[in-house]
Structure 1
């Protein structure tokens, strides 16, 4: 097939607007017949049009019957936005092209019609695509499919949603052997790795890189107030942020967690004396409320939107001309993505400000900004494709039609994430899907597949509906709907976690959607509330995504600490680091700094591992266990991204002896076996793999019911079948995710036994903020503790003859 030339109606449409087709868009048109192409282009650079130009050219003559192009997006809202943006040029060009979207929000009536009469272009998500491949009429639905476009592929490449997608693409390639694949992204840290995921293994994938355009205009916010020693709210910066909002058309104010977004929005609203129109947007809010905010953004009605990752991706949200990131970004790639939301136009520099929430984050923000300027994106190597997703795919394949194990294995290993899957591993997954595994093979409920001749079938064809009902890799976190009481209108406000709702008593107040509500009671698994005018509410504990500082950013920060001076830093932070160098020492990249000192009748040890919060938390667990074995009486610990503080009764005279890797690994094995964290990880894997069903016809299990069921299954497997497939998956995921033991191993390998032990007479400057971690160290008053620590630091600086630091 020869590459299509651009039809006159498309050329004319560009010409009438005075637009030139960008070089990378021409490149994508020229490569339209390639089996796989990855386009990396800056935000606002016309990636979407570059992906769709070959489709529009091929469909312009009106001869194609049925589905031609499938567009896959990580967000339902992005699919809907692309449909709006694509519909306009198609209508104005007069092209005979039907465009529809299919997501979880699409009605069953429309979905049924789409299966019977597919549009030319279908916009969907990984979950909806996986379900489409599971129907018996999938060969007819996809009969005419020529192209698949995966947008924001970087957001899928590192997740189970991506694994689900790439397995679905392997299925589509079997149905449509000449299928062409296209990936689009603005931020890719390892282009070759992403290309290999997108391609059909072992086929190559071409990479097209567009002109990156002008460098972003980014800086750290300058304020009259100095950041506090600890905390994540950045309340000190509210007046300065408000001034910048007043100076711009529309400002996106990003936060790393939903709870922090709620607090900041509340404080911003209280300080908003001019009643500027501002909104809040995050994943726990009611969908209608999110859509109202999105519509207001597109119309240009809002001056500022406080948000989380829910607005990270490539949706064109109107005339945004400033992005503010509150809190250290933790990840350079994510920061670049967020910066790109401002001035969403080709060759227009994005404008962004970083707002460190505390003193340490000043250091991290300076290093993140430098990494952005150098184009140094961070990212860890992609792990192997997880087997729980593989099991789900086997069940979905069985729901579609009987299959040959040999054929399905060949298909799965054509997906890049599973290219090194062994036949033994595949057979173990197939055995699990068929019987539930050794421990459960006598239970009828897990007897799902049987072999007849050379093909595997569903034992009961009616099981196909249950398999589809429970498909997906997004694990909800046991949330309850929040509504105003029925006599107050019954309006839905959003969701909170079950664990948070369980702590509420009638009369308690909390923030949701930027407003303070009063808890009235629980009715039919719904949290009923009324509006409340309280000034200081409790805050809903939204789970969201807990970001850990990336390995690359941590190492960059460690190297930065070795500079003789820090002209990039404000005086208060540079003086703080100089004081640390004078009274102790600064952590170094290939050494481990351990400080010990007395305070308030306790002995304290601080380990500056710079391994990320999860790994530092795990290190605290393992070290305190080692200390208990040596009768050193640890009393507790607290962890941040850069350090772990342990306090107890006895001085640690020889901390080096605590860091034996084999002993730490043995301690981890013992701690993990019955830990609640392992049970939570098991529950997620078991739900994805199909061992646990959250949805059954006519009912849905509550989070507590599902937890109870999974805990029983976990305990059973731990006792009778500890090598069960899902137990292996659970351990692998816990070690790489929530526990992050690999980063502890990397840290110990990097230092090679080089441990610097400093015995200090009192708390050191870098250690001081650790005593303020919320909810970890019992204090009478957070503000009093902060003042005492600030006074201690001030006194240290006076004694050293350095400039005074105001806390």
Structure 2
């Protein structure tokens, strides 16, 4: 058993503390190549991760960088810096702790490269940038440990892939480097462990006592939730009452727009003037920091927020979390619940507020999953190749490299363990020439192989431009919003598309305030205050969550119960009525309802595959219907169903779900769709084919889109097998359209399709008719309707005659 050094032991004793078992385990196993700690929120996992570092530096003080801490959030790195000061200063360790993020000044960054602190706190993007410098080997010389906090959040995106490639680079510089991952919410510990460890090294997993079950419930009000919508305005009085009863309440929302609307409505109902703030990623940094300071000081009773407060920052004395809208993902819900009562072995308290009738069912399913400690997650597959291309350019920026060594380095990163040499060489060729169709243009010939066999930048000056564009986060095209007038204070950002729809005098919400659009000045939206009470709503893109596969399966399993005592009466009666007039969806089967409504034939497919997949299914099914001679007119999709309306009733749905034809239809649709161009633009920026930053100036969204679209059209025409087009297709299939979920659904169901023909709308289908985002289909239905209308008009006017002898129709030509 490893003993604490006297300085740290005395510090623990002075506070009356003892090491938790998982903290002791982390100290005892400090020599392992890789360690993954899973510990509940408030369980001291961050201190557990740093204990071996503090113990090592207390026993053997030394200069230079000892430990690198990587966080998904700049704010979390700053928070850890504040928290580390306490043991370092009170134990008299003489350890230098600094952070390095996008907010760090250039002078400090430059000094840190030459004289790094003992502990450096950073983000994946800043770490990737540091590895791109020629002096990276000197900066990281002697590095002993890397701590990756909230590793589950990074594992779900390309930021995690970028980080693991950076760690592979550090491991080559420092062969004895130890890796540590920290998280409170891991659905598949072994998968995260494989990602964290250097392939094929093992990764030990330490699981702490999960502590008591959270005190979590669903809000039940006398007023039933509406049939559709996500605002939960009906619950405002009840939520305000909960705010009154608690010290500090975090009110989470799934989107920024919903957070703005709810905050506005909550403020209008807040007749007592309780101090309430709002916090999300589109607000100005100064405004966010002001709210954060007020939270830490205990000056706010409630904060309406989004995922910007999901992760492990200790924001003051929070004793209640409210999740407005179905959580969509159990793991995310557990993470948010953990913000309340942020103490070891103290149960977190949370309330779920369903925004509509169906979300009542989803919330109950999520509550059961939390009780069962059954977290959800989606397998990510192999590491994306656009990130690989960026890493090659980062390596070239640091100096000449040997291709064999770089391939070995990259294939040691977990997500790239299956990387083939052919795939690596294709990325190398892309970085060297830009691909077949672009090889004649110097701007895309970034690297070249010298006579010594080493690869290097063709123009060393291009390293600056490569560094300016490092990163995998694709910012939505936004415009700054400021108060009108010289030196007007910033408020935040809105989407370019939303700004383009505004005319002077229009009002919208931002930061909980109603503002009036006055005009656009130097790519900045200028606004003034407006006392109105009915604003437009800014279109904050943010993250659109889809219900996880596991949660969907739980919902369908709930439908098989004889009764639902756990549901409010109004929702249980709704499901009973559905069962009486039709059926409820069942596991391993696909329920399809068909009925006439409003003069059209309606088809409802209950796929429960998530919003992206159900939206894609609507596009593919309407295409298949036209191929089968049917006449669809449009569709709308939710997480659980797709509603299609048209002129013809579907009598045999089986041919529509032929997986091969669906996939062929998807490829045909994608080839000429804006989805592909948007996906191409994102991957081209990551791979380095296109730049968003040039000479320190960021291109506008319109400029970036124009150059990207021209390049995409060129490659499609002249080089259809270009690497970036291959990557684009993979990314579109994997993320934007979620075709994998459709494939999984089709394979699971097979030919077990239940078509129920009815005379009217069913209870489960009713909310779909209120759902926004209806997509019209232009095709055979339009032609038939036009022909029928022309015939009707001619018949009514007496101008249509039938020449019986010749068997032809005469119509007025117009």
Normalised by the shorter chain, which TM-score bucket? over 0.9
Q: Which has the larger radius of gyration?
A: 2
In the aligned structure 2, how far is the partner of 1:720 from the partner of 1:637? 35
Aligned counterpart in structure 1 of residue 653 of structure 2, from 649, 652, 655:
655
User: Partner residue of 2:304?
Assistant: 306
Q: Counterpart of 2:736 in 1: which secondary structure?
A: coil
Map 1:422-501 onto structure 2 (within 5 A). 422-452=420-450, 453-486=452-485, 490-501=488-499
Give the conservation status (yes or no) of the 8 Å contact 2:220–2:568: no
User: Partner residue of 1:330?
Assistant: 328
In the aligned structure 1, how far is the partner of 2:115 from the partner of 2:343? 36
Q: Counterpart of 2:361 in 1: which secondary structure?
A: helix
Q: What are the Cα deviations for residues 718-776 of structure 1, in whole angstroms up to 9, with x where unaligned?
A: 11111111111110111111111111111111111111111111110000000111243
In the aligned structure 2, how far is the partner of 1:590 from the partner of 1:631? 29
In the aligned structure 2, how far is the partner of 1:494 from the partner of 1:164? 28
Deviates more, 1:39-48 or 1:718-727: 718-727
Map 1:19-58 onto structure 2 (within 5 A). 19-58=17-56
In the aligned structure 1, how far is the partner of 2:32 from the partner of 2:608? 44
Unpaired runs of 5+ residues, structure 1, are 779-807
Give the conservation status (yes or no) of the 8 Å contact 2:468–2:696: no
User: Partner residue of 2:66?
Assistant: 68
Q: Counterpart of 1:732 in 2: which secondary structure?
A: helix
Shift of 1:600: 1.2
Give the conservation status (yes or no) of the 8 Å contact 2:225–2:354: yes
Give the conservation status (yes or no) of the 8 Å contact 1:147–1:181: yes
Shift of 1:631: 3.5
Map 1:175-574 onto structure 2 (within 5 A). 175-452=173-450, 453-486=452-485, 490-574=488-572
Deviates more, 1:505-514 or 1:52-61: 52-61
Shift of 1:656: 2.5
User: Partner residue of 1:605?
Assistant: 603
Give the conservation status (yes or no) of the 8 Å contact 1:219–1:354: yes
Q: Do structure 1's residue 707 and structure 2's residue 717 form an aligned pair?
A: no
Shift of 1:62: 5.9
In the aligned structure 1, how far is the partner of 2:327 from the partner of 2:697? 40
Q: Counterpart of 2:525 in 1: which secondary structure?
A: strand
Give the conservation status (yes or no) of the 8 Å contact 2:5–2:59: no
Q: What are the Cα deviations for residues 285-317 of structure 1, in whole angstroms up to 9, with x where unaligned?
A: 000000000010000000000000000000000
Q: What are the Cα deviations for residues 109-166 of structure 1, in whole angstroms up to 9, with x where unaligned?
A: 1101111110000000000000000100001100121100000000001110000000
Q: What are the Cα deviations for residues 519-569 of structure 1, in whole angstroms up to 9, with x where unaligned?
A: 111111111111111111111111111100001110111111011111110
Aligned counterpart in structure 2 of residue 156 of structure 1, from 154, 158, 171:
154
Q: Do structure 1's residue 78 and structure 2's residue 38 form an aligned pair?
A: no
Shift of 1:641: 0.2
Give the conservation status (yes or no) of the 8 Å contact 1:62–1:97: no
User: Partner residue of 2:738?
Assistant: 740
In the aligned structure 1, how far is the partner of 2:166 from the partner of 2:111? 21
User: Partner residue of 1:104?
Assistant: 102
Report the TM-score when normalising by structure 1.
0.95
In the aligned structure 2, how far is the partner of 1:85 from the partner of 1:699? 36
In the aligned structure 1, how far is the partner of 2:27 from the partner of 2:389? 38
Q: What are the Cα deviations for residues 492-527 of structure 1, in whole angstroms up to 9, with x where unaligned?
A: 000011111111111111100000011111111111
User: Partner residue of 1:625?
Assistant: 623
In the aligned structure 1, how far is the partner of 2:312 from the partner of 2:185? 11
Aligned counterpart in structure 1 of residue 138 of structure 2, from 127, 137, 140:
140
Deviates more, 1:655-664 or 1:573-582: 655-664
In the aligned structure 1, how far is the partner of 2:661 from the partner of 2:768? 26
Report the TM-score when normalising by structure 2.
0.94
In the aligned structure 2, how far is the partner of 1:318 from the partner of 1:467? 40
Give the conservation status (yes or no) of the 8 Å contact 1:230–1:359: yes
Deviates more, 1:713-722 or 1:261-270: 713-722
Q: Counterpart of 1:737 in 2: which secondary structure?
A: helix
In the aligned structure 2, how far is the partner of 1:63 from the partner of 1:628? 74
In the aligned structure 1, how far is the partner of 2:104 from the partner of 2:78? 11
Q: Counterpart of 1:403 in 2: which secondary structure?
A: coil
In the aligned structure 2, how far is the partner of 1:211 from the partner of 1:775? 45
Unpaired runs of 5+ residues, structure 2, are 777-814
Give the conservation status (yes or no) of the 8 Å contact 2:98–2:117: yes
Shift of 1:629: 2.4
Shift of 1:632: 2.1
Shift >6 Å, 4+ stretches: none
In the aligned structure 1, how far is the partner of 2:602 from the partner of 2:150? 46
In the aligned structure 1, how far is the partner of 2:648 from the partner of 2:2? 76
Query: CA, structure 1 residues 720+176, in 2 after alignment: closer, same or farther (shift >3 Å)?
Result: same
Q: Counterpart of 2:313 in 1: which secondary structure?
A: coil
Count of equivalent residues = 775
In the aligned structure 1, how far is the partner of 2:503 from the partner of 2:147? 49
User: Partner residue of 1:772?
Assistant: 770
Shift of 1:661: 1.2
